[in-house]
Amino acid sequence: MFRKAPLLLVALMSLPLISQAHDGHGFFHGSELAHYLSSPGHAVPLVLVVAASVALILYRKRSREERDV
């Protein structure tokens, strides 16, 4: 299962980027990085993906450490 995790992670991380069909919401223009960081519609999924990635990395690291003991 965890062998597919990096692929899933990349797919999840690209979701905010592929939703380019927008203008007229949030702050800044849709092509600016500040737009993705300041608009809740983009920032919240980004934060969730980053948090899930960190949790997955920590879980895998902890699992390896417990296996090596």
Contact footprint for Zn ion (CB under 5 A): 22
Q: Which is nearer to Zn ion, 1 or 33 (CB)?
A: 33
- Distance from the first to the final alpha carbon of the chain: 23
Beta carbon of residue 11, minimum distance to Zn ion (angstroms, whole number): 19
Alpha helices in the chain (DSSP H): 5-18, 33-38, 40-68
Beta carbon of residue 25, minimum distance to Zn ion (angstroms, whole number): 6
Q: Which is nearer to Zn ion, 4 or 29 (CB)?
A: 29
Asked if residue 30 lies in contact with residue 38, where contact means CB atoms within 8 angstroms, the answer is no
Q: Which is nearer to Zn ion, 22 or 62 (CB)?
A: 22
